[in-house]
Amino acid sequence: MLRIVSSVSRPSSASLLAVANRRNIASTSARQADITLTVDGKEVTVPQGSALIQACEAAGSPVPRFCYHDRLAIAGNCRMCLVEVARAPKPIASCAMPAAAGSVVFTNTPLVHEAREGVMEFLLANHPLDCPICDQGGECDLQDQSIRYGSDRTRFHEIAGKRAVSNKDLGPIVKTSMNRCIQCTRCVRFANEVAGVEELGTTGRGNDLQIGMYVEKMMDSELSGNIIDLCPVGALTSKPYAFHARPWELKTTESIDVLDALGSNIRVDSRGVQVMRVQPRTNDDVNEEWISDKTRYAYDGLRFQRLTTPLVKGPDNRFVAASWPDALAAIAAGLNRTGASGNEIKAVAGHLADTEALVVLKDLVNRLGSDNLASDLAGKFGNAPPVHGVDIRSNYSFNSTIPGVENADAILLVGTNPRHEAAVLNSRIRKSWLRSELVVGMVGERADTTYGYEHLGQDAKALEKFLTGKPSGEFAQRWAKAERPMIIVGSAMAEHADGEAVFGMLARYVSGAGNRVVREDWNGFNVLQRVASRPALYEIGFVPSRAAASATPKFIYLLNADEVDPASIPANAFVVYQGHHGDRGAALADVCLPGAAYTEKGSTWVNTEGRSQLGRAAVPPPGAAREDWKIVRALAEVLGVNLPYDDLVGVRDRMWAISPSLVRWDGVERTSIEVAKAGLGSLSAIGKKPPGGGKMTLVVNNFYQTDVVSRASVTMAQCTRAFVTREKEELNSIGKEPLQAHA
């Protein structure tokens, strides 16, 4: 029975825009006055409205806690954070107490020690003594804090006396062991506030209180893995990682996720040559501290279907393992045999191509005299220059920036479902929707977004009607008055027959609205990319020229291109596939070159905002696989093309020459307002024809399998069965969990 921010007053039905009626429980005024108080004899100044625990933190006095979490509502039910406040009759739960000016706080007195010890004793009264077989061991808050703050002896001697709670089946990702639960309700608050799964809660009361869904149901959320990190004990642990490693055996590498275009900051934990797990890393500008389940669990796909050695197709159309020199020579021979020249040489960049490799490949192809640089956009769109152009970055980027979502007061989604295209961004929209008066409108196929929205139509005609007509309805009224309106165009619009029309009409609308959408302090025109490589692709200009787009290729180089349309590859063309998985792309190839996956190379990734970030190698590539840019560089040598760099520093110098922001890691370079407006001006010129009216369909139908890594992943396949195709998961039912095949 929590007091949580709930969407109760905002059901995702048609009546959801009864905004005037809505009041939030947590709507503190934004008064930023600072107050000063004394903690352990140290004066600290904190913003008014901070919790006492934050003030203690600021004073450098650690306060133990279980239920308190920075990013969740305050519950105040574990009582571990008791502190002594002068002139208060009792110890005070510092998480639920606002810091008051002038109060004198002690965190290190006998009273506090005794209080903590007592709380610890009660928490442990019902906690099983199964640390040796608990997966949380080594990173368990309860374990650590009972060592630090608990009593060194027990007064409980019951053998049959501990509470027993049945385990819940939350799906293929979260393993539950509910006996260990200490009812901190972090998972419940996360599910309700952040993930938008309002199915998790607490049932019963007192000693019988338990976490669950009451009915037998799985936790259908693309963010469910985060509750594993949030759980301070071993009640919620990771099913795919169960009993695979202990935290102290793991090597930690800070890296970047590439399975969507958000560039979530991750920590790759590896043991030897295997990635054991992926965990989020805090970055308030990108992913706060959440990551999606795909980011977290697709890593087991890195173990299967890998290309470990160069492969050359023999005369009987079967791949034969080859050495690197032979494979590269076979490519050179293939290029000669086809006689491809100029734009007949085509390179196709796929979802998981890193920036370094793209730069080197572009240089190689350009030096071979070709401009035919395609990407694996759906259908014919990959072979043509993208509708939004690549000359001005703000035309294809998420210009408001990800934290900027929280400032918007009206969001118009066009042909996108952020929940599946950028799950963590979606949680930001939900957060803002819960805490502010944000309204959301959507043009496109209906989807469950975890927040309410007004559906404005399914096609470009509906969008045109909304932008140029006199729309009625709650959203239109709020949109007209919005101070920070935000348009989010899905990347799928660049692959839609009406793409030109959509981009054109939006650009004309934004340009026509003067300073309303784009001005010095606010750029509300956003394109949400869903594929990690594309922002970099556009940034370096990896797009075909108009002339190249019409050429018939004779030699095709697929760089991680697995979504490429097989029909776009002429039967007599010589095809090279470079990538890390034997998937669709490799099946089309004459020569396969094994590249490194994102956990195996140090490379630059540009996210949808245009933020370049540095991924780091956690494990070596398997077998004979090599870093991608090196493969292309070596091939250039064999083809007799001279590329002016031999090492990574040289490649990055080249990237600097192309676009300095590529190597200014971690920052977003804003497009200046004049340039952004010029970009919109150039977009305004396109798509003047009336739209065809094709439905804007959802581009991600199965969130769990969108690229080669997630398609090869066992866990993602189980998630697909559980949440997408909804097959009965016999293998994962409680009590008969088999060891994973890759254990």
Partner 1 sequence: MFARLPRRLPRLSALSSRPISTTVPKRSDALFIHRDTTYNNPQIAFKFNPQNLKRAEEIISHYPPQYKKAAVIPLLDLGQRQNKGWTSISVMNYVAEILELPPMRVYEVATFYTMFNREPIGTNFVQVCTTTPCMLMGSTDILKTTCAHLGGLKPGETTKDGKFTVIEVECQGACSNAPMMAINDDFYEDLTPETTKAILDAFSRGEKPKPGPQSSRQTSENSAGLTALASKPYGPGEFCLPEFQ
User: What is the distance between the alpha carbons of residues 271 and 197, in angstroms, rounded to a whole number?
Assistant: 34
Beta carbon of residue 504, minimum distance to partner 1 (angstroms, whole number): 40
Structure tokens at 337: 């045999």
8 lies in the binding site for partner 1 (CB under 8 A):
yes
Q: How far is the CB of 205 from partner 1 (least distance, A)?
A: 5
Tokens 């290729």 appear where? 553
Q: Is residue 725 close enough to count as binding partner 1 by CB under 8 A? A: no
* Residue from the set 132, 161, 315, 640 that interacts with partner 1 by CB under 8 A: 161
Q: Crossing angle of helices 460-468/499-512, nearest 10°?
A: 10
Secondary structure (3-state) at 258:
coil
Which positions ≥6 away from 11 have C-beta within 8 Å? 452
Tokens 């990237």 belong to 655
Regarding 153 and contact with partner 1 (CB under 8 A), the answer is no
Q: How far is CA 384 from the centre of its chain?
A: 28
Q: How far is the CB of 382 from partner 1 (least distance, A)?
A: 42
Residue 201 CA, distance from chain mean position: 25
What type of residue is 363?
D
**Is residue 728 involved in binding partner 1 (CB under 8 A)?**
no
**How far is residue 625's CA from residue 333's CA, in Å, rounded to a whole number?**
22
Helices and strands, counts by H and E, the chain: 21, 28
Q: Does 14 bind partner 1 (CB under 8 A)?
A: no
Nearer to partner 1 by Cβ, of 208 and 730: the residue is 208
Choices 5-13, 26-34, 109-117, 411-419; region in contact with partner 1 by CB under 8 A: 5-13
- Binding segment (CB under 8 A) for partner 1, from list 15-23, 310-318, 410-418, 441-449: 15-23
Q: Cα separation of 652 and 662, whole Å?
A: 8
Token reading at 327: 């494979």
Q: Is 205 in the site for partner 1 (CB under 8 A)?
A: yes
Nearest distance, CB of residue 209 and partner 1, angstroms: 8
Residue 159 touches partner 1, criterion: CB under 8 A: yes
Q: Which of 199, 409, 669, 729 binds partner 1 (CB under 8 A)?
A: 199
The residue from 108, 166, 468, 672 that contacts partner 1 (CB under 8 A) is 166
**How far apart, in whole angstroms, are the C-alpha atoms of residue 697 and residue 445?**
5
Contact region with partner 1 (CB under 8 A), list: 33-41, 152-160, 274-282, 668-676: 152-160
Stretch that binds partner 1, among 116-124, 151-159, 266-274, 418-426 (CB under 8 A): 151-159
Near partner 1 by CB under 8 A: residue from 153, 157, 546, 728: 157
Calculate the alpha carbon distances from 187 to 181, 388, 704 in Å. Answer: 11, 41, 22
Distance CA 139, CA 33 (A): 37
Contact pick of 13, 32, 572, 642 for partner 1 (by CB under 8 A): 13
- Ramachandran angles phi, psi of 548, nearest 5°: -65, -30
Among 4-12, 219-227, 384-392, 471-479, the segment contacting partner 1 (CB under 8 A): 4-12
Site string for partner 1, 108-147 (x = CB under 8 A): ----------------------------------------
Angle made by CA atoms 433, 437, 441, in degrees to the nearest 5: 65
Residues touching partner 1, count (CB under 8 A): 36
Cβ atoms 639, 335 nearer than 8 A? yes
- Helix 355-367 vs helix 628-638: crossing angle, to nearest 10: 20
Pick from 117, 198, 285, 406 the residue near partner 1 by CB under 8 A: 198
Closest to partner 1 by CB, 164 or 571? 164
Minimum distance of partner 1 from residue 286's CB (angstroms): 29
Q: Which two tokens stand for residue 295?
A: 């980011």
3-state secondary structure of 215: coil
How far the first Cα of the chain sits from its last, in Å, is 39
CB 210 within 8 A of CB 202: yes
Please identify which residue in 30, 102, 110, 158 interacts with partner 1, judged by CB under 8 A: 158
**Residue from 63, 200, 348, 361 binding partner 1 (CB under 8 A):** 200
Say how far apart CA 384 and CA 544 lie, in whole Å.
6
Instruction: Note whether 207 binds partner 1 by CB under 8 A.
Output: yes
Backbone φ and ψ for 511, nearest 5 degrees, come out as -65, -40
210 near partner 1 (CB under 8 A): yes
Residue pair 130/180 in contact (Cβ under 8 Å)? The answer is yes
Please give the DSSP secondary-structure letter assigned to residue 386: -
Q: Per rule CB under 8 A, is residue 155 in the interface with partner 1?
A: no
Q: Given the rule CB under 8 A, which of 199-207, 409-417, 661-669, 697-705 is the region that contacts partner 1?
A: 199-207
30 binds partner 1 (CB under 8 A): no
Contact 692, 135 (CB under 8 A): no
The piece of 21-29, 546-554, 635-643, 667-675 that touches partner 1 (CB under 8 A) is 21-29
Q: Which is nearer to partner 1, 155 or 546 (CB)?
A: 155
> Which range in 112-120, 157-165, 222-230, 282-290 contacts partner 1 by CB under 8 A?
157-165
Q: Which stretch binds partner 1 (CB under 8 A): 6-14, 97-105, 440-448, 480-488?
A: 6-14
Is the sign of the CA dihedral 495, 500, 505, 508 positive or negative?
Answer: positive
User: Which member of 36, 70, 114, 214 binds partner 1 (CB under 8 A)?
Assistant: 214
Residues that bind partner 1 (CB under 8 A): 1, 6, 8-9, 11, 13, 18, 21-23, 157-163, 166, 168, 198-205, 207-210, 212-216
